[in-house]
Chain A
Amino acid sequence: ETGVTQSPTHLIKTRGQQVTLRCSSQSGHNTVSWYQQALGQGPQFIFQYYREEENGRGNFPPRFSGLQFPNYSSELNVNALELDDSALYLCASSLRVTANTGELFFGEGSRLTVL
């Protein structure tokens, strides 16, 4: 186990709704990244948070947003859900030091189904 926990593990929403996914990072890790993984594909980078600020973003629209809290936990929010948002959402924590070194530690993911 990595020590990264995500909730909820599964959820079902309908088109147009909003969803919030939560991630608790591994103890001592100050950076959280979020990934979207569609069925049969590799994880796609959404964004990364470091010191409570977005620190890089992939090719995702603004309706994907996030937060990082002082305890380094994080939320991913998706507004106006679309059918294509159905995927496994993965949170990964890491320790950022002077350079962006260190491996990523992933949680088990939140599986979102949009109907």
Chain B
Amino acid sequence: DAKTTQPTSMDCAEGRAANLPCNHSTISGNEYVYWYRQIHSQGPQYIIHGLKNNETNEMASLIITEDRKSSTLILPHATLRDTAVYYCIVRSHTGGFKTIFGAGTRLFVKA
């Protein structure tokens, strides 16, 4: 599975959009981009995933660049409860059974 690079930490004002970048320059054609988040003392929570098209669900939007070497997770209206560590992961859907987590980005949402 390809590796990802994320900033260590980011701040965001409550009510504003939080844009979390992820670099995955070695991603393969069959690898998807997944995002999870982990709120303090809880297990990671799935947010969204995509292959090459932009995706949106009730939690967030995922923007993947055309060359697929980077992506951005967007929380449209961040709240204090969105303070968490956000993990960007790439994994294939065939033969790959382990989801590799990096260190993630610690997002602080401030009032």
Contacts and interface: CB of A to CB of B under 8 A. Distances in A.
Interface residues of B, number: 24
B43 A90 contact: yes
Interface in B60-94: 85, 87, 92-94
A25 B105 CA distance: 28
Interface residues of A, number: 26
Interface stretch (B12-20, B21-29, B44-52): B44-52
A42 B94 contact: no
Given A99-B94, A100-B97, A42 B104 contact: yes
A81 to B, nearest CB: 22
Contacts of A21: none
A43 B98 CA distance: 11
B96 A104 contact: no
Contact of A107 (B43, B49, B92, B98): B43
Contacts of A103: 34, 46, 49
Contact of B44 (A41, A58, A104): A104
A16 interface: no
A45 B46 contact: no
A100 B94 contact: yes
